[in-house]
Structure 1
Amino acid sequence: MSKKVFIFDDNNDILELCTLILEGAGYETKTSSTSNDIITQVSAYEPDIILMDNWLPDVGGIAATQALKKHPKYKSIPVVYFSANNDIRSLAETAGAESYLSKPFDIEELEEKVVSLIGK
């Protein structure tokens, strides 16, 4: 069975790019342009890993990731934090994310990051 990746980003180009890369690598993907009701969204899909953008409308990436990390069932899902911000490392730490990728990222980098966290 394929491992599942949930991508949160309000940029459609990024969502399409990540979907192409990850489905090409054999993962199942789901995308969302908002991190509102993060627990509801995650519980409906039960992903193996989450890619979380920093700048999201309404509820930002940090608050959404923190909510997940407080949840007994979903706190163990690794989160890769995405941002074009220079300070991505500290943003990811504040959020409680396991890893981070600065934008723009390259295809191999994204794939390697996902594989390193959840395997093929």
Structure 2
Amino acid sequence: MNKQSKKIIIFDDDEDILSICSYILEEQGWEVSTYTDCNNIAEKVSGIMPDVILMDNWIPDAGGIVATQTLKKTDGLKDIPVVYFSANSDIQLLAGHAGAETYLAKPFDLDELERVINNVLVSH
């Protein structure tokens, strides 16, 4: 396996979004892990140690805000950048409340997805 491959976790309960995002990101050389819930989030993230996390606002069970806040309180995980994504109109507030590094409004196009992920990698 290429040691240089970048790892990303996508937390979203929408299988369509997971499959589209996974396909696009894998094409670009990412190693993608997906979860449809955020239960035991610290264990899930610790097991993979991704470079970036994409977090949906409405992820079961606890929701994206609590999930992100949990990560940001966990030593060893709090520096992993989180891209918060949601169709909610106040996504900027939600992302800030969660402590995410940045956000992506749904629906998004794939260029935006790439841009946001690349920006957060560069700034981290």
- Please report the TM-score for the alignment, with normalisation by the length of structure 1: 0.97
d(CA) in 2 for partners of 1:36 and 1:59? Answer: 7
> 1:6-45 residue pairs with structure 2 within 5 A?
6-45=9-48
Cα-to-partner distance string for 1:41-82 (whole Å, 9 max, x where unaligned): 001111010000000121100000000000110000000001
> Structure 2: which 5+ residue stretches go unaligned?
none
Give % identity.
Answer: 56
Gaps of 5+ in 1: none
Using the alignment, how far apart are the partners of 2:80 and 2:27 within structure 1?
22
Question: Does the alignment pair 1:100 with 2:103?
Answer: yes
Q: How many residues align?
A: 119
Is the 1:61–1:95 contact (alpha carbons within 8 Å) kept by the matching residues of 2?
yes
**In structure 2, what is the equivalent of residue 110 of structure 1?**
113
1:61 paired with 2:64, answer yes
Equivalent in 74, 84, 93 of residue 81 of structure 1 = 84
1:88 maps to a residue whose letter is I
Q: Quick one: which amino acid aligns to residue 100 of structure 2?
A: A
Q: Give the aligned partner of residue 51 of structure 1.
A: 54
The CA deviation at 1:104 is: 0.4
TM-score w.r.t. the length of structure 2 is 0.93
2:8 match: secondary structure: strand
Whole-angstrom distance in 2 between the partners of 1:16 and 1:7: 10
Q: Indicate conservation of the 8 Å contact 1:25/1:111, yes or no.
A: no
Question: What is the identity, as a one-letter code, of the residue corresponding to 1:25?
Answer: Q
Confirm or deny: 8 A CA contact 1:54 1:83 kept in the other structure: yes
